Amino acid sequence: MKPTSTTATSAISDADDAPPLTQADFDRARYKIGGKSASQSEWQAAVRARSGKQRINIMLDAPIVEHFKALAGERGYQTLINDTLRRAIAGERLEADLRAIIREELRAS
């Protein structure tokens, strides 16, 4: 049996029977949501809504972007920025919760 996939995504094997995809193939794509036909923009919106992500434009200082790109390697610097922001938010919640608990304990004593 011939292998149908490979872990190396940078090169297509000569033994692959499938022809390479072209832009024309993607241009002919039909988009569906829940089995019903949809426009490309409707499909993209549904994918974004399901992923819980939102596309925004934001200006970051060049040294910050360079820092995260250097840290990211193959992972993707935007993922690292998201993770860092999540940790900052979690830290704020933790700090607020701890302050509230300490205030309650001080009042109780």
Report yes or no on 43 lying in a domain: yes
pTM attached to this predicted model: 0.48
* pLDDT value at residue 67: 94
Q: List the Cα angle 8/9/13 in 5-degree steps.
A: 70
Q: How far apart are the first and last CA of the chain?
A: 74
User: What whole-number distance in Å separates Cα of residue 32 and Cα of residue 46?
Assistant: 10
Question: What sign for the dihedral angle of Cα 85, 88, 92, 93?
Answer: positive
Average pLDDT on 11-18 reads: 64
* pLDDT value at residue 23: 92
Higher pLDDT residue, 11 or 100? Answer: 100
Report yes or no on 24 lying in a domain: no
Average pLDDT over the chain, rounded to an integer: 83
Question: Under DSSP, is residue 48 helix (H, G, I), strand (E, B) or coil?
Answer: helix
Given a contact cutoff of 8 angstroms between Cβ atoms, the answer to whether 94 and 86 are in contact is: no
Given a contact cutoff of 8 angstroms between Cβ atoms, the answer to whether 31 and 42 are in contact is: yes
Looking at the structure, tell me whether residues 79 and 105 fall in a common domain: yes
Confidence of residue 14 (pLDDT cuts 50, 70, 90): low
Helices (H) and strands (E) in the chain, counts: 4, 2
Residue 35 is part of which domain span?
Answer: 30-56
Higher pLDDT residue, 22 or 49? Answer: 22
Higher pLDDT residue, 57 or 48? Answer: 57
Looking at the structure, tell me whether residues 82 and 94 fall in a common domain: yes
Residue 91, pLDDT > 80, answer: yes
Looking at the structure, tell me whether residues 42 and 68 fall in a common domain: no
